[in-house]
A and B are shown apart, each in its own frame.
Chain A
Amino acid sequence: MSSTNQLTVAHSPHQFGDDSVQKIMYRVLFALVPAFAVSLVFFGLGALIVTGVAVVSCLAFEYLIARFIIKTKPTLWDGSAAVTGVLLAFNVPSNLPVWMIIIGSLVAIGIAKMSFGGLGKNPFNPALAGRVFLLVSFPAQMTSWPVVGTRMNYLDATTGATPLGIIKEGVQNGQPVSELLAEIPEYSQMLLGNMSGSLGEISALALLLGGLFLLWKKVITWHIPVSIIGTVLLFTGILWGINPEKYADPLFHLLPGGIMLGALFMATDMVTSPMTSVGQIIFGVGIGLITVLIRVFGAYPEGVSFAILIMNAFVPLINKYVKPKRFGEVVKHG
C-alpha cells in the first residue's frame, strides 16, 4: 500500500458538478452570436470594428489593472471581460469613434468592475456603467445612429433617428401616434432588426433566440425577463388604453430600443441581480416601471440602461429583506 501516504484528505462533498464560471460566460457569448450576426448584416463594418475594439480593450484593461494595479494573477480567460466588451458594444451606435469605445471600456472594466474587486464584486453592470458614462459625456455621438444598410461605412455612415426617438419627438410636438407610425418601419421589420438603433439591440428576434438558449442552459431564469417585459406591456398598455393617440401601443415598446437586450442579457447579469426568485421579480418590475417612466415622461427617448443601473443599486436591499422560503418554516400537515 505504497500510495496510502498520498491520500488526499478533505471535507465532503468529494464529487463536483462540471459547470464553471468560464462555461457560463462562454454560453453568454454564444447566446449573443445571433444578435451580432444581425448587426453585421445591417451595420456591416461599423459593427465589426466597434465590437472588436470593445472586446480587445476590455480584455486589455482587465489584464493591465489586475497585473499592475491590484497585482493579482489576471483571470482573462474566465470570459467575463469579453462579455462586458460585447455588451458595451451592443449598447452603443455602430459609428462610435474608436477612442470613445476605449474610454467606455476603461470606465466599464476599470471603474465599474475592477475598482470594486473584480469578477463578482461589482454592484453595477459594468457594460451599462460604461454606456451611460459615454451617453452623458458624448451625447451627440451616442445618439446619432447609423441607418441600416450602410454596410461598408464606419464613421461616415449616414445617421437617422430611432423609432423611439421619432415617436417621442413627434408626440412632444403634438402629432398623433397614428400619424407617426407611418414614419417608422413596420413591426415585422423591427422584429428582424431592420431599423436604426444601438449596435446589438435592433433585432428582438435574434436576442430572443439567444435568451431562449440561456434559459435552456439554465444560465438565466425566467423571472427577470418576464417581469420586465410583463411590466412594460402592462404599463404601456394602460397608457395606450387611456389615449392611443398620445401613447404608443405596448408592442411598439418591445421592439425598438433596449428592452429585449436589457431584459435578456443586461438585467440578468448574475453579479448585479437579486439572489432570490421573488427578489428578481421585484427587480424586474422596478426596471420595467422606470423604463416606461423615462421613455414616456422623461427627457430621454430610451431608459432601459438607467432603469437597470437604478435597480442594481437596490439589489443589496432586496437581498437583505427577501429571503428564500426556509424548509420547516411554515408547518403544513397534509
Chain B
Amino acid sequence: MKTFPKGGVHPPENKISAAVPIEMLPIPETVIIHLSQHLGAPAQPVVEKGEQVKVGQLIAKSAGFVSAPIHSPVSGTIEKIESVPDTSGYKKPAIIIKVEGDEWIDTIDRSPDLIKETILSKEEIIARISEMGIVGLGGATFPSHVKMMIPTGKKAEILIINGVECEPYLTSDHRLMLERSEELLVGISLVMKALGVSRAVIGIERNKPDAIAQLTSLSGQYAGIRVEPLKVKYPQGGEKQLIKAITGREVPSGKLPVDVGAVVHNVGTIVAVYEAVMKNKPLFERVVTVTGKLLERPANYLVRIGTPIEFLVKAAGGMPEDTGKVINGGPMMGKALLSLAVPVSKGTSGIVLLSQSAARRKPVMNCIRCRRCSSVCPMGLEPYLLQALSEQARWDEVEANRVMDCIECGSCSFICPASRPLVDFIRTGKANVNRIIRERSK
C-alpha cells in the first residue's frame, strides 16, 4: 500500500456524513457572489444593478490569464454590487442577486444522459474549461485552465486525480466518486486529452473502500485510467505528498508538479470539467459537506455558489447551542468563520461545526524538544525552530531553514504535546520572508 514516506499524522477521521447521499439544497432568496473566488485577479462585473440574469449567465469576466469568469448561480435581478464580508471576514466586492424562479440559460444541457465522446480538440477543451469558470475545487481555487497549459520545455506525463480527502470530517469528494463515477471518468479522459497524457491515476485512501471498488471496476472501460489505493495518512491530499506517494517523484523545493511531469486535479474539479465540456454548464454549484458531532443532520449538499452558510447550517438542523467554532473547510487547514452570513464560494468544500470545548486550544507550555513536530513534518522541516526564529523576527534564518517549503498542513501543531502555536508563527515567518523576497527582486 503506497503512501508518502516522510512524516504525517492520523487525526480522528470523523467522516460522519460519509453515507449520506448528495442532496440538492433549495435556492435561497438572495445570493452573494464575490468577484474573487479564485486565486489570481478578481473577475470584472459585466452586469449592472437592476439587470435580469439567468442561471449560468456570465456576470463577471476573467481579468487575466490567472483569473476565472463567474456565472450567475440563480435567476433573478442584480440587487447591488458592493463590498460585503467573505469567508475571510474582510469586505470584498460582490454581486448580490435577488432570486426569482430558477430559469437556466438554454445552452446548458440539463439532461442526465452520460456523454462519453467529444469531437472537441485539445485547445477547445481547455478554452471551454476556461470559459466555464472552472477552478480547483479542493480548496485552493487555482484556475484549472492554467494547469492544463504546459509551459514550453516541460512535459506532462501523468495526470493524478486527488480523491484522497484526507481532511477529517469532509466527505464531498467521497460522495462525488460514488455518485458521479462515470462523469468523473469521462472528465479524466477529457483532461488527459487536453494535457496529451496517456496515463491517469486516481489516488484514494483505503478508508473509502466503496469508492475504490466502484472506480476500479468502472475504470476498466477507460483507456489509461487506474485507481491507486493509498494508506490512510494526513496530509496525503497535499499535492506534493500525493505525487510522491503515487509516482515516487519529489517535486523540488520551489518548483511545480509539472517539473516532475505530473499534473494534479481534485475529483470535484474533474466532475465540473465534465459538466463544462460535455454539458456546457458553467461552475455555479458545488457539493459542500455540512457536518459536526453536534449537528442534527450532517449532510452533503449540492449548493448554488453564493448561498449564505447559515442557510446550509439551518438545513442540516440549525446551529447547535454548544457550537464554539464554525470552520470553512476541514479542521486541519480550514478557516474559522467570524459569521455565518457569508456565502459559499467555489472553494468551500465543507462547513464543520465544533463544540465550545473542541474550539479552544489547550494552554501553551514550554517546548520540551520532543522533536515530534519535525518527525511528523511531511516537508522535512523543523517547526520548533521556525517557530522560535519567527517569534524573534530572525527572518534570514527563517528563510535559510526553508520556511517557504511549509504547506501549512498543521501536522506539527496537531501533534505538539506542549500545544505550542507552531503553524501560527510559521505563517508569520512565511509572510515576512515572502515580503523580503519580493523586495529583493525589485
Could you tell me the distance in whole angstroms from the C-beta of B411 to the nearest C-beta in chain A? 8
Q: Which B357-388 residues sit within 8 Å CB-CB of chain A?
A: 358-362, 365-371, 374, 377-382, 384-385
B434 at the interface (CB under 8 A from A): no
A3 at the interface (CB under 8 A from B): yes
On whether the beta carbons of A120 and B6 are closer than 8 Å, the reply is: no
A173 at the interface (CB under 8 A from B): no
A15→B251 CA distance, assembly (Å): 28
On whether the beta carbons of B365 and A75 are closer than 8 Å, the reply is: yes
A321 at the interface (CB under 8 A from B): no
Query: Interface size on B (CB < 8 Å)?
Result: 75
B residues in contact with A13, CB < 8 Å: 331-333, 410, 413-414, 423
> Which of A18-26, A40-48, A57-65, A143-151 lines the interface with chain B?
A18-26
Could you tell me the distance in whole angstroms from the C-beta of A273 to the nearest C-beta in chain B? 8
From A12, A325, A328, name the one whose CB has the most chain B CB atoms within 10 angstroms: A12
Task: Name B417's contact: one of A10, A19, A271, A332 (CB within 8 Å).
Answer: A19
Could you tell me the distance in whole angstroms from the C-beta of B389 to the nearest C-beta in chain A? 13
A9→B371 CA distance, assembly (Å): 28
B66 at the interface (CB under 8 A from A): no
> Which of B77-85, B113-121, B264-272, B316-324 lines the interface with chain A?
B316-324
Task: Name B326's contact: one of A7, A19, A330 (CB within 8 Å).
Answer: A7
Given contacts A12-B335, A12-B410, contact A275 B361 (CB under 8 A): no
On whether the beta carbons of A23 and B417 are closer than 8 Å, the reply is: yes
A323 at the interface (CB under 8 A from B): yes
A324 at the interface (CB under 8 A from B): yes
A residues in contact with B27, CB < 8 Å: none
On whether the beta carbons of A14 and B359 are closer than 8 Å, the reply is: yes
Task: Name A120's contact: one of B247, B253, B369, B379 (CB within 8 Å).
Answer: B369
A334→B358 CA distance, assembly (Å): 42
Task: Name A7's contact: one of B240, B334, B338, B427 (CB within 8 Å).
Answer: B338
Task: Name B380's contact: one of A1, A21, A121, A325 (CB within 8 Å).
Answer: A325
Residue interface bits B245-259, CB-to-A below 8 A is 1, else 0? 001111111110000
A11→B426 CA distance, assembly (Å): 11
On whether the beta carbons of B340 and A1 are closer than 8 Å, the reply is: yes
A330→B260 CA distance, assembly (Å): 13
B336 at the interface (CB under 8 A from A): yes
Given contacts A8-B359, A118-B366, contact A1 B252 (CB under 8 A): no
A228→B442 CA distance, assembly (Å): 52
Task: Name A331's contact: one of B89, B252, B327 (CB within 8 Å).
Answer: B252
A326 at the interface (CB under 8 A from B): yes
A119→B333 CA distance, assembly (Å): 30
Given contacts A270-B370, A331-B250, contact A119 B365 (CB under 8 A): yes
A17 at the interface (CB under 8 A from B): yes
Q: Please, which residue of chain A has its CB at the minimum distance from the CB of B253?
A: A328
A99 at the interface (CB under 8 A from B): no
Task: Name B337's contact: one of A6, A9, A117, A323 (CB within 8 Å).
Answer: A9
B100 at the interface (CB under 8 A from A): no
B391 at the interface (CB under 8 A from A): no
Could you tell me the distance in whole angstroms from the C-beta of B165 to the nearest C-beta in chain A? 15
On whether the beta carbons of B380 and A12 are closer than 8 Å, the reply is: no
A residues in contact with B255, CB < 8 Å: 328
On whether the beta carbons of A120 and B368 are closer than 8 Å, the reply is: yes
A117→B365 CA distance, assembly (Å): 12
On whether the beta carbons of B368 and A12 are closer than 8 Å, the reply is: no
On whether the beta carbons of A326 and B253 are closer than 8 Å, the reply is: yes
On whether the beta carbons of B337 and A329 are closer than 8 Å, the reply is: no
A71 at the interface (CB under 8 A from B): no
Task: Name B405's contact: one of A17, A78, A326 (CB within 8 Å).
Answer: A326
B281 at the interface (CB under 8 A from A): no
A172 at the interface (CB under 8 A from B): no
Q: Please, which residue of chain B has its CB at the minimum distance from the CB of A23?
A: B417
On whether the beta carbons of B340 and A270 are closer than 8 Å, the reply is: no
B339 at the interface (CB under 8 A from A): yes
A residues in contact with B337, CB < 8 Å: 7, 9
B325 at the interface (CB under 8 A from A): yes
Query: Interface size on A (CB < 8 Å)?
Result: 46
Task: Name B248's contact: one of A273, A325, A332 (CB within 8 Å).
Answer: A332
B residues in contact with A333, CB < 8 Å: 249, 260
Could you tell me the distance in whole angstroms from the C-beta of A84 to the nearest C-beta in chain B? 13
A325→B379 CA distance, assembly (Å): 9
Task: Name A10's contact: one of B6, B247, B336, B367 (CB within 8 Å).
Answer: B336
On whether the beta carbons of A11 and B424 are closer than 8 Å, the reply is: yes
Could you tell me the distance in whole angstroms from the C-beta of B343 to the nearest C-beta in chain A? 15
On whether the beta carbons of A119 and B319 are closer than 8 Å, the reply is: no
Given contacts A1-B340, A326-B379, contact A12 B408 (CB under 8 A): yes
A residues in contact with B419, CB < 8 Å: 16, 20
On whether the beta carbons of B354 and A14 are closer than 8 Å, the reply is: yes
A159 at the interface (CB under 8 A from B): no
Task: Name B361's contact: one of A6, A10, A20, A332 (CB within 8 Å).
Answer: A10
Q: Please, which residue of chain A has its CB at the minimum distance from the CB of B318?
A: A1
A188 at the interface (CB under 8 A from B): no
A residues in contact with B381, CB < 8 Å: 324, 326
Q: Please, which residue of chain A has its CB at the minimum distance from the CB of B254?
A: A328
A297 at the interface (CB under 8 A from B): no
A10→B382 CA distance, assembly (Å): 23
On whether the beta carbons of A324 and B380 are closer than 8 Å, the reply is: yes
Could you tell me the distance in whole angstroms from the C-beta of A134 to the nearest C-beta in chain B? 25
On whether the beta carbons of A21 and B418 are closer than 8 Å, the reply is: yes
Q: Please, which residue of chain B has its CB at the minimum distance from the CB of A3?
A: B323
Q: Please, which residue of chain A has its CB at the minimum distance from the CB of B407?
A: A327
A75→B368 CA distance, assembly (Å): 14
B residues in contact with A120, CB < 8 Å: 365-369, 418
A276→B378 CA distance, assembly (Å): 14
Q: Please, which residue of chain B has its CB at the minimum distance from the CB of A11?
A: B424
From A11, A14, A117, A326, name the one whose CB has the most chain B CB atoms within 10 angstroms: A14
Given contacts A14-B327, A21-B418, A271-B368, contact A326 B380 (CB under 8 A): yes
On whether the beta carbons of B6 and A121 are closer than 8 Å, the reply is: no
On whether the beta carbons of B371 and A275 are closer than 8 Å, the reply is: yes
**18 A–B contacts, CB within 8 A, in A order:** A7-B326, A9-B89, A11-B423, A12-B335, A14-B331, A14-B332, A14-B354, A15-B11, A16-B416, A20-B362, A21-B418, A80-B368, A271-B369, A323-B382, A325-B380, A326-B405, A328-B251, A328-B254
**Given A17-B417, A20-B419, 11 other A-B residues pairs in contact with their CB atoms under 8 A:** A3-B323, A9-B89, A10-B361, A12-B410, A119-B368, A326-B405, A327-B405, A328-B252, A328-B254, A334-B247, A334-B248
9 nearest A-B pairs in the assembled complex, by CB-CB distance: A13-B410, A334-B248, A120-B366, A15-B331, A328-B253, A326-B380, A8-B359, A14-B331, A327-B379
